[in-house]
């Protein structure tokens, strides 16, 4: 590996960073959601909010906001695409490795960024299920 190669992003990562899918721009009250999950990583400072709309036990729509790096943005964009249309349980089974594989691999030192979106999704599902009780 040449010097600097550990910072190389795949074209898929670049595309999801530059053209994030399901990104919630502006006021979240304009997105009709059933639950929200919020998490943060105190080490890197990234913060994530994941909004889900559930219909017939499946994620019918999903949106997110983040304060994070390119890897966090690309990872959450990819996760939102992978989770949309899945049952809540199936969406929770999407792993950081699944996201990394979908993106064609993040730089090794950025792999942790793929976990933040998943944690926010997990919180949103937990909050959705709590509201049903």
Residue tagged active-site, from 39, 88, 113, 121: 113
pTM: 0.88
Would you list the domain boundaries of the chain?
8-128
> Per CATH, which fold does 8-128 belong to?
Sufe protein. Chain: A (3.90.1010)
Flag residues of the chain having pLDDT under 70: 1-7, 42
Return the structure tokens found at 38: 């919020």
Query: 113 an active-site residue?
Result: yes
The per-residue DSSP string of 109-133 comes to GGTTHHHHHHHHHHHHHHHHHHHH-
Pairing verdict, β 35-40 and 47-55: antiparallel
Residue tagged active-site, from 23, 28, 44, 111: 44
Query: 69 an active-site residue?
Result: no
Q: Provide the pLDDT for residue 79.
A: 96
d(CA 65, CA 86): 20
Q: Provide the pLDDT for residue 7.
A: 60
């Amino acid at each position: 590996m040449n010097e600097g190669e550990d910072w190389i992003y795949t074209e898929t990562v670049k595309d999801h960073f530059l053209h994030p899918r399901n990104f919630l721009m502006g006021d979240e009250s304009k997105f009709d959601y059933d639950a929200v999950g919020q998490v943060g990583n105190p080490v890197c400072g990234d913060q994530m909010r994941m909004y889900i709309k559930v219909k017939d036990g499946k994620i019918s729509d999903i949106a997110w906001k983040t304060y994070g790096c390119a890897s966090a943005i690309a990872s959450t964009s990819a996760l939102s695409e992978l989770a949309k249309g899945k049952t809540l349980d199936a969406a929770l089974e999407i792993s950081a490795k699944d996201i990394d594989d979908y993106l064609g691999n993040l730089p090794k030192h950025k792999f942790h960024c793929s976990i933040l979106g998943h944690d926010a999704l997990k919180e949103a599902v937990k909050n959705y299920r709590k509201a049903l009780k």
